[in-house]
Amino acid sequence: MRVEPFDTSRHMEFTRRATVVTGGVMGLFGGIAYRLYDLQVRRHGDFKALADENQFNTRLITPLRGDIYDRYGEVVANNVPDFRVLVVPERTDDLKATLMKLAADTTLDLPPEKIASILEKARRQRSFLPILVADKLDWDTYASVNFHSTTLRGIVSEIGASRAYAEDAGAAFVVGYVGSATSDDISRARETAANEEDAGKAELLYRQPGFKVGKAGLERTFDKDLQGASGSVKVQVNAHGRVIKTYAENAVQPVQGAPIGLTIDKELQATTLKVLADDYGEYPDEALGPHPVSASAVVMDIITGDVIVMASTPAFDPNVFSRGIESKLWKELNDSPLKPLLNKPVAGTYPPGSTFKLLTAIAAQEKGISADQRYFCNGSFRFGGRTATCWKQEGHGWVDMKGSIKHSCDVYYWNLATQLDIDDIAKVAERFGLGQTYDLGIGAEADGIVPSRAWKRAYYRNDPPNQTWFPGETLSVAIGQGAVTASPLQLAVMSARIATHKKVMPRLVRAMGSELITQPVFEDLPGKAQHMNAVRDGMNAVVNEWGTAARSSLQPDFLMAGKTGTSQVVGLRRDPKTGRRLKNEEIPWQYRDHALFVAFAPYDNPRYACSVVVEHGGSGSKAAGPRARDIMRAVLEKDPSNYDKHRFWSGERGETQGPLEVASLGGQP
């Protein structure tokens, strides 16, 4: 047997390989061991903190919006429980599949277009932010969602709060309404924040499901005050992101927004709306129903400036905007000839008609024309080759200033107009409240028009031949026609200033938070106070001495002074076949005259001023006067100025939200 010699070189090669492999294996296990040590021992604290952060989240708690009350503390707008369902996209395996399963397994109505909307919103915003799936659910639907929630990853059901408005308050145009924050709202919130941190917090708050911002009226003007301050709470979640424990004891409580106390009387507001909408003998119109009424009214306390009533009919329900108005209803509201979305008391402007004669009478006295000066009315007036007819075709005979107001004689004021300059009338009109806005906080206030030479130059600046003011135009303005227009609020202010000869200014808010706003002291108006005597006497005669509004008298209980007005919408209508002048009821509703009435009461100790406008109501004595009578009777019988009789604002409203609110988990994780 041949024995091969031992190959020393091959042995050494094997030994080197074994050594390298063994060393590599030992190094690998050593690295693993060191990594385990690093993770489990040396950096244990760091990773424990990270694990805690994954297990514990801080949620933003949206604050309750501040309540709004009437002058006696009666609720006009507050917050009510709201059953709702949310989804957190990042916690779902498949958002679309989750939503479809939610619709299939529960009684929640979730149509395809709604699912598509949620998916689109999830695409545009950060995935950890909850998205509102449905709100204002009934209990059965809410219970159905809760029952299946354990199999619906990412779905959160909660009890939140939504804005509610008292349906009997009729203050939609005053209070306004709220809606979901838009991208523009969020941008404005970021821009007005003090720093980037506050901007980020504001954006998170505005993106919370169910969070609303003011969209109109006082809700919009005082949005920041009403919002309050958000809070936060620490919660523990499981692997699916579902909250399993809430640490309420360490929560930062949200602070409810400041309450607002209005000057409005909720009860009188409701009464006024009913009076405005009632049938007072308007002539029917086949297209609009038996007695279409589009009207408005304003009642002021002339000592404080408090607007006690600001009513417009037909009114809309602000709750439909808070819930999210349907497109069909929105179209109906916009297309209605009765203009339910127009805030008529401040945004509606109308020729004031004969109510303007009160200002022409004041301007005449300031020009040196005595209140005792008489003019003869035979039913017509010849001027510039044309003949104008008084509303009373047979004429009024000899009338002085008091008689001209009592009988609303056009010829008397045409005589005055020939001796007055348009700028003389304009100065008086502006002094008594026309042609200006009052910044009540509800927006959309119209200036109206007080014609003057300067106004005409500005209006016709691109049409030079029409810049000249013609004397015939002054005749039209003197009786409240032509270019002059005014809002019901301006007419109420006019009446208040005539009653007091003071610069009465209206207001809608009398308390913010726990503080009552200081009652203003109004300065005297320029001009002689005695010029008011003939005007006030004439207004008293209109109602109480068988004037044009005799049917609107409140005697023997109260003395109310007033002035009727009828303003043309279109030119005089005549039958094309016979040439006969058509009566108001014989023409289509939208072409009929507007009916107006202004008043103050009591006559011997004025406290309240009122204006009523009935669109296309025809005669002021038939449509507006009786409504003003019934409104003022309700006001005088209640007498809101009697502080000993009524419960007023206590200021004990709105504090930090209680600990139960921290259970609302719709916030930012």
Identify which of 354, 397, 352, 403 has the alpha carbon closest to the alpha carbon of residue 379: 397
Ranges 120-134, 555-569, 573-587, most confident: 555-569
> Does some domain include residue 24?
no
Read off the tokens for 481: 């026609």
Do 463 and 388 belong together in one domain?
yes
How much is the average pLDDT of 515-539?
Answer: 92
Residue 3 has pLDDT above 60, yes or no: no
Do 600 and 657 belong together in one domain?
no
Contact 616, 594 (CB under 8 A): yes
Do 248 and 290 belong together in one domain?
no
Report pLDDT digits (tens) over 189-209. Answer: 888 888 888 888 888 888 887
Contact 57, 237 (CB under 8 A): yes
Report pLDDT digits (tens) over 248-260. Answer: 777 888 889 999 9
Report pLDDT digits (tens) over 416-434. Answer: 999 999 999 999 999 999 9
Report pLDDT digits (tens) over 571-611. Answer: 666 666 776 777 777 777 788 889 999 999 999 999 999 99
Average pLDDT, the chain: 84
> Does some domain include residue 51?
no
CATH of the domain at 143: 3.90.1310.10
CATH of the domain at 587: 3.40.710.10
Do 246 and 391 belong together in one domain?
no
pLDDT in the model for residue 667: 33
Contact 191, 170 (CB under 8 A): no
Q: Distance (Å, rounded) from C-alpha 451 to C-alpha 367?
A: 18
> Does some domain include residue 647?
no
pLDDT in the model for residue 257: 92
Q: Distance (Å, rounded) from C-alpha 231 to C-alpha 254?
A: 4
Do 258 and 301 belong together in one domain?
no
> Does some domain include residue 404?
yes
pLDDT in the model for residue 363: 97
Do 573 and 474 belong together in one domain?
yes
- Identify the weakest region by mean pLDDT among 74-78, 136-140, 236-240: 236-240
Identify which of 370, 306, 387, 201 has the alpha carbon closest to the alpha carbon of residue 643: 306
Edge-to-edge, what's the strand order for the sheet holding 56-61? 56-61, 231-237, 243-252
Q: 616: buried, middle or exposed (CB in 10 Å: 19+, 13-18, 0-12)?
A: buried
Residue 90: how many other CB atoms lie within 10 Å: 13
* Alpha carbon distances (Å) from 469 to 258, 388, 456: 52, 19, 7
Do 180 and 288 belong together in one domain?
no
> Does some domain include residue 38?
no
* Alpha carbon distances (Å) from 402 to 301, 351, 412, 554: 26, 23, 11, 20
> Does some domain include residue 461?
yes
Do 191 and 306 belong together in one domain?
no
Beta-bridge partner residues of 56:
236
Do 455 and 521 belong together in one domain?
yes
Q: Distance (Å, rounded) from C-alpha 609 to C-alpha 615?
A: 20
> Does some domain include residue 297?
yes
Do 158 and 270 belong together in one domain?
no
Identify which of 506, 195, 171 has the alpha carbon closest to the alpha carbon of residue 310: 171
pLDDT in the model for residue 141: 84
- Identify the weakest region by mean pLDDT among 218-232, 386-400, 457-471: 457-471
Q: What is the count of structural domains for the chain? A: 2
**Between residues 357 and 468, the one the model is more confident about:** 357
pLDDT in the model for residue 612: 97
Residue 124 has pLDDT above 60, yes or no: yes
Do 185 and 292 belong together in one domain?
no
Residues with Cβ < 8 Å from 521, sequence gap 6 or more? none
**Between residues 60 and 386, the one the model is more confident about:** 386
Q: Distance (Å, rounded) from C-alpha 325 to C-alpha 319?
A: 9
Residue 658: how many other CB atoms lie within 10 Å: 9
- Identify the weakest region by mean pLDDT among 135-139, 234-238, 394-398: 234-238
Q: Distance (Å, rounded) from C-alpha 104 to C-alpha 95?
A: 14
Do 443 and 523 belong together in one domain?
yes
Start-to-end CA span in the chain (Å): 85
**Between residues 464 and 498, the one the model is more confident about:** 498
152 is in which domain, residue-wise?
57-262+652-663
What percent of the chain shows pLDDT beyond 70? 83
Identify which of 404, 417, 424 has the alpha carbon closest to the alpha carbon of residue 474: 417
> Does some domain include residue 23?
no
Q: Distance (Å, rounded) from C-alpha 432 to C-alpha 427?
A: 9
